Copies of this chain bind each other. A is one copy, B any other.
Amino acid sequence: MVDLVKMGEQAVKAKYDLQKMQEADKNNALSRIADLLVEREAEILEANKIDVTNAEAAGMAPGMVDRLRLNNERIAGMAEGLQQIITLPDPVGEVLDTFERPNGLKIIKKRVPIGVIGIFYESRPNVTADAFGLCFKSGNAVILKGGSDAIHSNIAITNTIRKALTACGCNPDVIQLIEDTNRETATAFMKMNQYVDLLIPRGGAGLIKAVLANSTIPVIETGTGNCHIYIDEYADLKKAIPIIINSKTQRIGVCNACESLVVHKNIKNEFLPMLDKALKEKKVTVHGDAETAAILTDCILANEEDYGKEYLDLILSIKTVSSLEEAIAHINHYNTKHSEAIITENQAHAERFLNEIDAACVYVNAATRFTDGFMFGFGAEIGISTQKIHARGPMGLKELTSYKYTIYGNGQIRE
């Protein structure tokens, strides 16, 4: 078993070293790392080949093997990702507030790195470089725990990054990989709140649940999206169809894809047949309530479970409602607080929906697919938070920071 305490101590030491680095030096290191990833492509691909061969021998599904596989283009993509992070402004040191107290104390609230961040992820080895890049630029040391399937790839990528860091005179422990892939090591790591300030699990519901159940480190939940679109009685139906088709089918395996429609009964007779045609063209199966099934051909009757499901597939559930209020209550009951949309031309309805829906991102007349760090202009993201603590929605560099109060006195004591 790896020495997790030693790794924790090294990460803490590295965090202090990193926090003293200037932006230009961090950018220089990122550039050097990007170059070395491309230079050492052959070694990385060789390591990846072991993972892919093992996975295929173990009968891994082709879709999963594809996530695991690296090639020239994907390594170039990792390097390009780091180059993009160089162009993003360093958030550290930003003055967030300044105030003076009646006793003369001057208080400055400043943005600072979080410290040590743990990232749990599954089989995509490019996460190793992407997650490191965002943490490094925002001044955080990172300890990575990737999936066992990708272990040889992750070791090769991590070693390349550490080599480049050393060459730049940086402490290479700003990135450490837990090389043990057994569950006991993962669980032990989740208890290391003495060293690790934040844990971000990136992966499926099973991984996130395990982390929440075991971690004593603060966790940011990411990624589960049971996203709805509500077609209001005042919707422009011609606007609704492309938004729904885009949200459901542009990419089906992502957390900001639409999984469920809520349709006002006053428009169902006109709208559902229009929708049916568009969905059939894209081979989307509908699981609808009785009122939907009475209108749509080939509609499977939805059960309670359907409304709570993130299909990540060419399936869409449909629920009809009698009022905006009922739509809001339905969505707030079943959603995962990710992204929700209303299609309406009625301003009052739009505002009520925006205010009363409990989600990170609430849209009027736009696709749910825009909940994304790049689409928001953050440049990149470490994940999409579905909880309310610390950060909500797309998490970019700023969301990887905390703050501190620095206070200037001249002898003040408390009366």
Contacts and interface: CB of A to CB of B under 8 A. Distances in A.
14 contacts: A16-B356, A20-B356, A101-B370, A101-B376, A115-B388, A220-B389, A242-B413, A243-B412, A361-B407, A363-B407, A365-B408, A366-B408, A370-B407, A390-B390
A163 to B, nearest CB: 28
Report copies per complex: 2
A60 to B, nearest CB: 30
Contacts of A375: 101, 414
The 8 closest A-B CB pairs, nearest first, are: A366-B409, A246-B413, A388-B402, A369-B414, A390-B390, A366-B412, A218-B389, A354-B406
Contacts of A101: 370, 375-377
Interface in A105-143: 105, 107, 114-115
Contacts of A376: 101, 107, 405
B412 A370 contact: yes
Contacts of A413: 242-243, 246-247, 250, 366-367, 369
B370 A414 contact: yes
A206 to B, nearest CB: 14
Main secondary structure of the interface of A (DSSP, over half): mixed
Interface of A: 16, 19-20, 99, 101, 105, 107, 114-115, 193, 197-198, 212-213, 216, 218-220, 236, 239, 242-243, 246-247, 250, 332, 350, 354-356, 358-367, 369-370, 375-377, 387-390, 392-393, 402-414
Which of A212, A236, A239, A411 lies at the interface centre, i.e. has the most chain B CB atoms within 10 A of its CB? A411
Contacts of A388: 114-115, 197-198, 402
Contacts of A392: 402-405
Contacts of A360: 404-405
A147 to B, nearest CB: 23
A332 B332 CA distance: 44
Contacts of A369: 413-414
A62 to B, nearest CB: 26
Given A197-B387, A197-B388, 19 more contacts: A16-B332, A19-B356, A99-B377, A101-B370, A105-B370, A218-B219, A236-B411, A239-B411, A250-B413, A350-B408, A360-B405, A362-B407, A364-B406, A365-B410, A365-B411, A366-B409, A367-B409, A370-B414, A392-B402
A359 B216 contact: no
Contacts of A16: 332, 356, 358
A389 B360 CA distance: 18
A308 to B, nearest CB: 11
Which of A114, A198, A404, A408 lies at the interface centre, i.e. has the most chain B CB atoms within 10 A of its CB? A404
A414 B245 CA distance: 10
Contacts of A377: 99, 101
A212 B242 CA distance: 46
Nearest to A256: B414
A146 to B, nearest CB: 23
A323 B332 CA distance: 57
A204 to B, nearest CB: 17
A251 to B, nearest CB: 9
A404 B386 CA distance: 11
A387 B219 CA distance: 12
Given A212-B193, A367-B413, A410-B365, A405 B393 contact: yes
Contacts of A387: 197, 218
Nearest to A362: B406
A219 to B, nearest CB: 7
Nearest to A212: B216
